[in-house]
Amino acid sequence: MKKKLLLSSIAVAGLGLLAAGEYFFKYAMTPYNKEPDSKKLSGKDPLYRDKVWFKDFPKEKWTIKSDKGLNLFAQYLNHHSDKTAILLHGFMSDGDSMGGFAKMFYDLGFNILLPDARAQGRSEGKYIGYGWVEKEDILAWINQVIIKVGSNSKIVIMGQSMGGATAMMVSGLDLPVQVKAFIEDCGYSSVKEEIEYQAGNLFNLRAFPRIPVIETVSCINKLRNGFFLGHASAVKQLRKNTRPFLFIHGGKDHFVPTKMVYQNYAATNAPKELWIAPLAGHALSYPMYKTEYQQRVRAFLKKYNC
CATH of residue 180? 3.40.50.1820
Cα→Cα distances 77→1, 12, 147, 238, 305, Å: 71, 55, 15, 29, 21
Burial call 12-51: b when 16+ CB within 10 Å, e when fewer: eeeeeeeebbeebbebbbbbeeeebebeeeeeeeebeebb
Q: Is the CB of residue 148 less than 8 Å from the CB of residue 127?
A: no
pTM comes to 0.92
What's the mean pLDDT in 153-171? 98
CA distance 262 to 279: 17
Inside any domain, residue 200: no
- How confident is the model over 87-98, as pLDDT tens digits? 999 999 999 999
The pLDDT of residue 31? 86
Residue 264: Cβ within 10 Å count: 25
Give the residue numbers spanning the domain of 85. 45-190+232-303
In the sheet that holds 272-277, the strands lie side by side as: 60-65, 71-77, 111-115, 83-88, 154-160, 179-185, 245-250, 272-277
- How confident is the model over 172-224, as pLDDT tens digits? 999 999 999 999 999 999 999 999 888 777 666 555 455 688 899 999 999 99
The pair phi, psi for residue 273, each rounded to 5°, is: -140, 150
Q: Is the pLDDT of residue 3 over 60?
A: no
Inside any domain, residue 107: yes
Inside any domain, residue 223: no
Inside any domain, residue 25: no
Inside any domain, residue 39: no
Question: In terms of Cα–Cα distance, which of 144, 140, 153 is closest to 80?
Answer: 153
Inside any domain, residue 127: yes
Residue 183, helix vs strand vs coil: strand
Chain centre distance of CA 241 = 17
Q: Per the structure, how many domains does the chain have?
A: 1
Q: Is the CB of residue 243 less than 8 Å from the CB of residue 270?
A: yes
Alpha helices, DSSP H only, in the chain? Answer: 2-29, 48-56, 99-107, 134-149, 162-171, 191-203, 207-225, 234-238, 259-267, 285-288, 290-303
The neighbouring-strand residues paired with 176 are none
Inside any domain, residue 220: no
What's the mean pLDDT in 74-97? 97
Inside any domain, residue 83: yes
How many residues comprise the chain? 306
Q: Is the CB of residue 133 less than 8 Å from the CB of residue 227?
A: yes
- How confident is the model over 100-116, as pLDDT tens digits? 999 999 999 999 999 99
Cα→Cα distances 192→184, 218, 220, 230, 234, Å: 19, 8, 13, 5, 11
